[in-house]
Structure 1
């Protein structure tokens, strides 16, 4: 007997039958299309088996009988099925219809499920209308997304389904056939069955997919959905509650747990809008010109590790391996080996994971929010003030990357750059109009993120460590040696101690490696001095780097260098090269007198003086060979001058040498000839007097310039040396003289401490020691009334000779 057509009441009495888990909706689109020749609606010959007058009677097609759709929406009418209408339009009163084909039905079902998912996510996010005070007519579902509440109702919403009748004219001739309407083209991408499953966590659709009310399908290993990728659009999500947030791949709860600021001393950055540009994932494949395409140790997301001579990857059998066009071959999916010279290889590791990518992006976004929107101004300020005398970055590379997005930087590198540049915030006409960022929290956050990047060796990680060592803030703990040791270890991983002159690398990267290597060398030697730890770098054994030449400094002055408060590039290059030479002399002094072995074996004053004489000559020759541009009295109008920390380093090196002489002399004072004691102590006093005068003569151009990290301890070393001479004095008169020099020096530091925080920290270190020495702080007199001690060298008063001449005279006497 022929089945009677279903009425509206019959449909309303049916229950909704969910789709099978084995047949996801997105796959049924293709299965149920009459033109596909497959699926539950086809027979063995591939012809469509359902008859259109009866297709809705099949058990699979209960979509429009869902009682949950019978909503009491006020002005909106319930869904009804009529035989007079062949259209579906919930917005039209009393005229809501059945679809024209199974494919159209599945499209509507997919849209319906998207809306149910969105409604459930709103419920989970706390927008539950069933809380106290909610109206009786707005009962929210408490179950999973799409579930009904106790009354069988959902929160009111209007499903914006398309109107098939209005679109019929557009597609009426698409496919010939006897059907009342051809299947509508599905307006969303249909993933193949072989694609990886989407994350189980619920992800809100992006702006574009939300407006279209289509499923937002993520592209694997990407930060965009298929629809936006196909249309070349930016995949974003705008949350009305916050004004603008970035799309997240995880639930808000997990994201908050993973990315929260756990240290209560770190003040989170302000929530300000940032550029949403995605970083380049592989410089080697990017379009257009870039300095980064053929680099070895700056590639994202690859880390590089120097292959040492005892590695399993022996160079003998590597000579027989077939290499590609960049002298590289693949070990496995994650590792490859690249030859940069006949006897030098590096292991390259692909570090990319979606979690790492997301966390790195969140970290660098946090750094940028601390200073936004002033990031570009601070970068320009850094290259004007710090970079000329501390050339560890490549200016064009930094500017190229930042012009695309801040997300191409590691968080600690960008934070270190900002922390240093903020010191000159008030000297920029634009920045001075705004309040300074929270540099203490920014620095603490940078130190925490540095522990992540050291696991993935790149030149940028070494640069970040060196920058962070220069901007030690008062709010952080003094663990300079640990940080310095990590930087040296990174340099060893990257092979920075090797001679890269003939490596098959871009010329600019070879120059950067040399400058960066010598910056690590300088940091290691001066940290070894101020922290009293054994140096990690041994020249001639694990250090073969050639001295930097003029061609290794490609960043020359530009228009920005003409601005007030800039440093001189040419002067900075000469200063950096002279500091390398001075650090080599310091290294010899430390190896000769301050290793554990030398302290036990070099004990007599005769041995100490014999070993000190050639070192003293090297120091004198270094000082007299300085160009005029590096002298303290060479200043340019409205320019910063970094000669101060080079001269301070010289006095610290001199004091370190004479400190060992005074120590040996004091240990054998009963056995030494009085004349030898007088000459040695007179030379030491000359060094002390010269260093105090140097501090007294510092100009604002020196004080407000860049100072390297050892400056605090080097200033403190001058006061400590005066204390050593005080406690080793043989007479009360001599002790009083050194006491007056010590407090004269303290006064100089005190009056400069307000504008020069480095000397303020040095003063605190000095006072922390001398307050415990009897006879010093107890009967301390106001140093403002103290007259500087006039010392004589061979009958000449201080007014008759310059400080360098007096120092040289005393040195000549000690050498005799």
Structure 2
């Protein structure tokens, strides 16, 4: 051991400058040389009146209080027996007991957001001492900051204020004593409004109300939420939330906290410790969650959007919204808050942390998924315009860097969790499918599209059928192409590993719902032609047979899907679209029965429908929302019985009697592609532009045999 480590130096405040200089240099020499690995000197600077050399026997070495490297990695207690140089674990495994790893980094204290830093907490309250509770003294409480993204077409003209923001901020006159500031971040302008003490006190009061209902089971519920919900619907930042939850709940939105608890209570029995406790009242938490949501939308934060999405999810499955359109005003309010916060814009160039950019993108696409599917199932016009949506696509790696388990979570077998990779894949595939659903909304559900479809010439059955099939063909291509690329880890597993539940069924119900939605206009045409008793020829019946067989194939796949479901698939997190997606399939089955061409076909179809409803009833015990589709079928069954009393099959004959002049009909249906801005009048051009695949490629077209069938009849074969 070097001799300079055997010198202990200290002085009694020397007054001689030369002596002070010598001591300083010698102290630096000592400090620049590290001691032996794993050891440090006790009382390195000990008061003494002279420099001395200390014998080796008198050097006092002391082990650090932290565990050795091996025990730290295993997260076990490091135990030393008296007089031993190795800990118990290293001694038993015949390993070297080392202390070479650097000490664990302390959590960095949260830095107060700068003028252009937009906190993902929804502009959280700043703290004098990060990590400490909010002080009661108003003089030491910095008020919350609320940010609103400013567009150019208002009094905050971007050209005027953008040129004035050299200092990155402009103070405005206060409104009702509220301090206001205009900020800029790489060309994007925000209005910052400072809250008041009432906001702080009100938040504390609401948090106390929530905790009084939940009691001491809060941490368990938070763990349940992140194991099940967050895995498939990652609209929160797990690390950020847990940091605020453990350090100071006063900085968490009461609405978000109540919604998180509300959702986690659905899996109360999945935790062995919770299952023996008295379950808190979901109704009381729901009342608080809804009241806090409508209070917070006046000053929206990121957490307001997160809470709003969860609240709609919960209430949709608990029959709080009896009809799909009941939750539409609520969803509209959530999107309005998102627009105020700029969640519909690309944030890649904003002056915010990298983790927050990832969070914003995930939250934006989570909002997109829920809004589009609610629009899809409630037949309402979507508020999200593709021309006003500039959010970048999700990166499976960069945007999910914080999407991982701790070492303890991955090693322990915990009842009730969704595999992280499956959950991430599910979310990404749901986003891609939703983009296709957006095309379905524009092409089939918009008022313009409905008017075009309603103008089809019913008097010419064959032409009406062909035009409708041509109109939906690009959507069929896109759906089939998406399905062909579905990752293998979303296949319905026959055996789910112990402790896991699967979220994969979500994507199947969504896929079935999208497919039947595309085919429903064709079934309506076929049904209306049958009821009108118009003459149809062999070519019409041949095309009808192909469509009918395709629809029956979808129904059989749906029955097979229901048969493969287990409790591990059913007691999972379900997207809002699942509940009404099942009822859409029931409506499709009703329409399918009405296009039968003979009694044998009708009886077979009714038998398949009853089988699918029976499967729904069997699975209803583990997924209560299945009862909505069952009850809806019971309603439709009465109407179907009424229609079947006077059921007349297709009237086959010479269709020349009801043909009309082709000149009186539009040659093509017009489709406006919002991404291109052009009218694509040619079906082949539409299919190639929207589907990016070959128009007649069998692997991308579900009813490709129809083309061959028409070709055969046109050539008289």
TM-score tier by shorter-chain length is 0.5 to 0.7
Distance 1:299 1:810 in 2: 49
Confirm or deny: 8 A CA contact 1:415 1:446 kept in the other structure. yes
Matching residue within 183, 192, 216 for 1:348: 192
Find out whether 1:568 has 2:391 as its counterpart: no
Find out whether 1:811 has 2:703 as its counterpart: yes
Deviation at 1:707, TM superposition (A): 0.5
User: Which sits farther off after the overlay, 760-769 or 375-384?
Assistant: 760-769
Deviation at 1:542, TM superposition (A): 1.1
Find out whether 1:770 has 2:664 as its counterpart: no
Distance 1:597 1:542 in 2: 20
Distance 1:548 1:642 in 2: 20
Distance 1:651 1:504 in 2: 42
Distance 2:257 2:699 in 1: 43
Confirm or deny: 8 A CA contact 1:655 1:688 kept in the other structure. no
Instruction: Give deviations 1:404-459, integer Å, cap 9, x for gaps.
Output: 23332222211111121111111112111212211133223312321111111111
Q: Pick closer, same or farther for the CA change 1:810–1:521 going to 2, 3 Å.
A: closer
SS at structure 2 position matched to 1:771: helix
Confirm or deny: 8 A CA contact 1:292 1:397 kept in the other structure. no
Residue of structure 1 in register with 2:573 after alignment: 706
Residue of structure 1 in register with 2:123 after alignment: 299
The alignment covers a number of residue pairs equal to: 499
Find out whether 1:683 has 2:550 as its counterpart: yes
Distance 1:740 1:448 in 2: 47
Matching residue within 289, 293, 301 for 2:110: 289
Deviation at 1:668, TM superposition (A): 4.4
Residue of structure 1 in register with 2:398 after alignment: 551
- Structure 1 segment 376-387 matched on structure 2, within 5 A: 376-387=219-230
Distance 1:745 1:557 in 2: 38
Distance 2:558 2:365 in 1: 26
Confirm or deny: 8 A CA contact 1:683 1:814 kept in the other structure. no
Distance 2:612 2:469 in 1: 28
Residue of structure 2 in register with 1:792 after alignment: none
Instruction: Give deviations 1:16-67, integer Å, cap 9, x for gaps.
Output: xxxxxxxxxxxxxxxxxxxxxxxxxxxxxxxxxxxxxxxxxxxxxxxxxxxx
Residue of structure 2 in register with 1:605 after alignment: 465
SS at structure 2 position matched to 1:418: helix
Residue of structure 2 in register with 1:329 after alignment: 170
- Structure 1 segment 430-509 matched on structure 2, within 5 A: 430-472=273-315, 474=318, 476-478=320-322, 479-509=326-356
Confirm or deny: 8 A CA contact 2:375 2:382 kept in the other structure. yes
- Structure 1 segment 305-324 matched on structure 2, within 5 A: 305-324=148-167
Q: Pick closer, same or farther for the CA change 1:401–1:501 going to 2, 3 Å.
A: same
Distance 1:434 1:761 in 2: 31
Deviation at 1:770, TM superposition (A): 2.5
Residue of structure 2 in register with 1:725 after alignment: 592
Residue of structure 2 in register with 1:394 after alignment: 237
Distance 2:299 2:701 in 1: 53
User: Which sits farther off after the overlay, 671-680 or 715-724?
Assistant: 671-680
Confirm or deny: 8 A CA contact 1:303 1:457 kept in the other structure. yes
Confirm or deny: 8 A CA contact 1:652 1:714 kept in the other structure. yes
Higher helix proportion (structure 1 or 2):
2
Confirm or deny: 8 A CA contact 2:586 2:632 kept in the other structure. no
Q: Pick closer, same or farther for the CA change 1:814–1:415 going to 2, 3 Å.
A: farther
Deviation at 1:387, TM superposition (A): 0.6
SS at structure 1 position matched to 2:621: coil
Distance 1:403 1:506 in 2: 21
Deviation at 1:376, TM superposition (A): 0.9
- Structure 1 segment 176-325 matched on structure 2, within 5 A: 288-289=109-110, 294-296=117-119, 298-300=122-124, 301-324=144-167
Q: Pick closer, same or farther for the CA change 1:649–1:667 going to 2, 3 Å.
A: same
Confirm or deny: 8 A CA contact 1:336 1:347 kept in the other structure. yes
Confirm or deny: 8 A CA contact 2:480 2:701 kept in the other structure. no
Deviation at 1:716, TM superposition (A): 1.7
Matching residue within 508, 511, 516 for 1:655: 516
Structure 1's unaligned 5+ residue stretches are 1-285, 779-805
Residue of structure 2 in register with 1:253 after alignment: none
Find out whether 1:589 has 2:440 as its counterpart: yes
Q: Return the TM-score normalized by structure 2.
A: 0.66
- Structure 1 segment 161-176 matched on structure 2, within 5 A: none
RMSD (Å) for aligned C-alpha atoms: 2.5
SS at structure 1 position matched to 2:190: strand
Structure 2's unaligned 5+ residue stretches are 1-106, 125-143, 457-463, 646-697, 709-717
Q: Pick closer, same or farther for the CA change 1:728–1:291 going to 2, 3 Å.
A: farther
Q: Return the TM-score normalized by structure 1.
A: 0.58
Confirm or deny: 8 A CA contact 2:590 2:640 kept in the other structure. no
Deviation at 1:808, TM superposition (A): 8.1
Confirm or deny: 8 A CA contact 1:683 1:807 kept in the other structure. no
Distance 1:302 1:374 in 2: 31
Residue of structure 2 in register with 1:427 after alignment: 270
For the pair shown, the structure with the greater C-alpha radius of gyration is 1
Q: Pick closer, same or farther for the CA change 1:369–1:353 going to 2, 3 Å.
A: same
Instruction: Give deviations 1:137-166, integer Å, cap 9, x for gaps.
Output: xxxxxxxxxxxxxxxxxxxxxxxxxxxxxx
Matching residue within 461, 477, 482 for 1:622: 482
Instruction: Give deviations 1:537-564, integer Å, cap 9, x for gaps.
Output: 121x111111110211122122324423
SS at structure 2 position matched to 1:308: coil
Moved over 6 A (4+): 806-809
Q: Pick closer, same or farther for the CA change 1:678–1:348 going to 2, 3 Å.
A: same
